[in-house]
Amino acid sequence: MRIFLFSIILIVLTSCGAAKVDYDYDSQTDFTSYATYNYFNDMETGLSELDEKRLMEAMDATLGEKGYMFAEEPDVFINIKSTVFKSQQGNNVGVGLGGGNRGIGGGVSIGIPVGGPKLTRELQIDFVDSNKDMLIWQAISESPFREGDTPAEKAEKLQAVVDKIFSNYPPE
């Protein structure tokens, strides 16, 4: 019984912190032809100035590791959008009462919600070909978000999300 309970707790704890990422891209695009990038000037990221700076530093480091260089006249422009929303709370505790006698039974069950709604940050990153002015790649991630994190925790979590987002870039 202890092993079962421990397994359930471990599954709940590990599933709560992971970022989920969905990708889409233009299958006709040759991603090997891109070497430079920059950000759109008029981005409205939805992030605070400090979080925007942290995110862009994480992206610059990750893209640099992949061989991309920041340039004034880039091959690709990057757009970032972010929203925070309350995700549906799915945890319930069931309390049941039942009884029966001689093949006849009945019961009552009540679901009691546990905890409050969780905050989730959706982060959308778009790559736009600067010559064709066409969206070529997009990633949308959802990850848990907590407003009370320290600056170091925020930077660490944003770096983890960026690493997950760019783990499959460029597409093959």
Band the pLDDT of 12: cuts 50, 70, 90: very low
Asked whether the predicted pLDDT for residue 117 surpasses 50, the reply is yes
Beta strands in the chain (DSSP E): 20-25, 36-39, 69-70, 76-87, 92-101, 104-113, 118-129, 134-144
Please give the pLDDT value at position 155.
Answer: 94
- The residue type found at 8 is I
Instruction: Evaluate the omega torsion of the peptide bond into residue 151 and state whether it is cis, within 30 degrees of 0.
Output: no
Architecture (CATH level 2) of domain 19-168: 2-Layer Sandwich (3.30)
Q: How far apart are the first and last CA of the chain?
A: 46
Is the pLDDT assigned to residue 16 strictly greater than 70? no
**Sequence spans of domains, the chain:** 19-168
- State the pTM of this model: 0.73
What is the band of 90 on the pLDDT scale with cuts at 50, 70, 90? low
- In the numeric block, the tokens 């950000």 are attached to 39
Q: What is the mean pLDDT of residues 115-138?
A: 90
